Amino acid sequence: MILDLALVVAVAFAASLIVCLAMIWIGPVDAPNEERKLHQSPTPTSGGIGIGAGFGAAMIVLSLFSIEWRHEVSPEGIAMLWVSALFAYPLLLIGFVDDARRLSAEFKFAVYSILALAAAWLMGVVIEFRIGEFALELPFFVGLIGTALWVFTFINVVNFMDGSNGMAMGSVTVGLVALSIVALEGNSIGGAAMALCCAGALAGFLVWNFPSGRLFAGDSGALFAGAISAFGCLIVIARTGMSPMIAPILFFPLLADALLTLFYRARRGRSLLVAHAEHLYQIAVYSGWGHARIALTYWSAMAVCGAIGWWASRDTTAIAPAASLAVLIVIALVLDAIIRRRAEASGVLKR
């Protein structure tokens, strides 16, 4: 099965590479007409079309030509993959429309909320959290809201963070590779395949995006990559019994930057629906960091968190996931406070 997975990763990479090249020629253009945008000249966008094409091509090849796939993946696992595609591709389409002509924030909020609830309902609601001997079983409705909130939050987090060449899409790639390792150890072939096919497609896109920025992922790419990642986590939780707390650990740097920035804005009474330039990666850009340095910093942090998540997933006592997540949260709070205080003092960040 490992050889089959390696082959479809190559298929995802090649298909994405080719379609992304076509998008450079024919795709919509992102003009630098907002404060939050860091590029200097109009740039082709909607690289998400290539990412979606690469992912789809790889999954089709795997399902048609891999004998091991048909024997090793259960009907329930295949059904979850179909449900993932059922919701991920409409998000890609919505993102593509948004790339070409801006949709209102209120409309997108409503659509994302509905899709997240429906996906959570169909893919499996997370209701159990275990820490050592303590087990918390949530009521179904509470679990449904929490599972939908995970999907809604993560697709928006990736979209918020997609503003520096290679940073967000490369970070998601690292997180998906870590997720695939956890999935394979838990014998979730479907979850691993889903993560690796998306990672391969993202790598094909990154050829054109990092570090030169010849093509942007756009909302189409950010929403699709975020959805596949969120759904992949749900599949691995359902099929392997992975602690739900492992998922945020694997993608922690992206989540921490986005959520702490929203908290920072909320404390100052600023709108959470208005575009801004107050994320930590944006502060780094205005402080003189280049796109490559920012991307490599986030990729490294993602790799560390991926290793922590993998280690915590192997803990049979179920204590390590909660302890690791708590430590990461404390570290993030301290670093966020220090960086923002220095940025305010230097004038990079408005008080």
125-152 tens-digit pLDDT = 998 888 877 888 889 999 999 999 999 9
312-349 tens-digit pLDDT = 999 988 899 999 999 999 999 999 999 999 998 888 87
At residue 135, the pLDDT reads 82
At residue 38, the pLDDT reads 56
Q: What is the three-state SS of 70-112?
A: HHHCCHHHHHHHHHHHHHHHHHHHHHHHHHHCCCCHHHHHHHH
Mean pLDDT, the chain, rounded, equals 89
224-248 tens-digit pLDDT = 999 999 999 999 999 898 999 999 9
Tokens matching residue 86? 């059922």
61-79 tens-digit pLDDT = 888 877 666 667 777 777 8
User: Of 58, 158, 51, whose CA–CA distance to 96 is shortest?
Assistant: 51
pLDDT band of 165, cuts 50, 70, 90: very high
CA separation for the pair 134, 13 (Å, rounded): 43
- Scanning 2-74, the segments in alpha helix (DSSP H) are 2-26, 48-65, 67-72
pLDDT band of 9, cuts 50, 70, 90: very high
